[in-house]
A and B are shown apart, each in its own frame.
Chain A
Amino acid sequence: MLKLLLKKLTELILVLFFVTLIVFFTFRLLPGDPAQMRLGMDPAPEAVAALTAEMGLDKPLVVQYGNWIADVVRGDLGKSMFDGKPVTELLADKIPKTFELAVLGALLSIIIAVPLGVMATLKKNSWIDKLARVFSLFGFSVPAYWLAVLLMLLFAYKLHWLPAGGYVSFAESPSAHIKALILPVITVGIINSAQIFRFLRSGMLEVISQDFIRTARAKGLSEWIVIGKHVARNALPSLITIVALNFSLLLSGMVITEQIFAWPGLGWLMIQSILSRDYDVVQAAVLISAVFIVVINLIADLINAMLDPRIKYN
Chain B
Amino acid sequence: MSKIWKDTTALISLIIFGIIAALALLAPFITPYKFDEIVDAPLIGSSGSYLLGTDEIGRDIFTRIVYAGRISLIVGICSTIIAMVGGVVLGLISGYYGGKIDTLISRFLDGLLAFPSIILALAVMAVLGPDIYNAMLAIGLVSIPIFARITRSSVLTLKGREFVEASHSMGAGDARIMFRVILPNCLSPLLVQISLTFASAILTEAALSFLGLGVQPPTPSWGSMLNAGRSFLSQAPLYSIISGGAVFLTVLCLNVLGDSLRDLLDPREAKKRA
Question: Taking beta carbons and an 8 Å cutoff, which residues of A are in contact with B?
Answer: 11, 14-19, 21-23, 26-27, 29-31, 125, 137-138, 140-146, 149-150, 152-153, 157, 164, 202, 205-206, 209, 248-253, 255-256, 259-260, 267, 270-271, 274-275, 279, 282-283, 285-286, 289-291, 293-294
Q: Say whether A249 contacts B248, CB under 8 Å.
A: no
Chain B, interface size: which category? Answer: 35 or more
Question: Taking beta carbons and an 8 Å cutoff, which residues of B are in contact with A?
Answer: 2, 107-108, 110-120, 122-129, 199, 203, 206-207, 210-213, 223, 226-227, 229-230, 233-234, 237, 240-241, 244-245, 247-248, 251-252, 255-256, 259, 272-274
Which of B116, B124, B233 is A26 in contact with, Cβ under 8 Å? Answer: B124
Known: A27-B123, A293-B115. 15 other contacts (CB 8 A): A11-B107, A138-B252, A141-B251, A141-B252, A144-B207, A145-B226, A146-B245, A153-B241, A157-B234, A157-B237, A252-B116, A252-B117, A256-B118, A286-B115, A289-B116
Q: Say whether B115 contacts A206, CB under 8 Å.
A: no
Q: How many contacting A-B pairs (Cβ < 8 A)? A: 150
Contacts of A16 in B (CB 8 A): 111
A22–B111 alpha-carbon span in the complex (Å) = 8
A18–B105 alpha-carbon span in the complex (Å) = 10
A23–B212 alpha-carbon span in the complex (Å) = 22
Q: Say whether A30 contacts B127, CB under 8 Å.
A: yes
B68 vs chain A, min Cβ distance (A): 13
Q: Say whether B115 contacts A290, CB under 8 Å.
A: yes
Contacts of B248 in A (CB 8 A): 141-143, 146
Q: Say whether A141 contacts B199, CB under 8 Å.
A: yes
Q: Say whether A150 contacts B207, CB under 8 Å.
A: no
Of all chain B residues, which has the CB nearest A251? B116
A152–B2 alpha-carbon span in the complex (Å) = 36
Contacts of B123 in A (CB 8 A): 23, 26-27, 282-283, 286
A138–B249 alpha-carbon span in the complex (Å) = 10
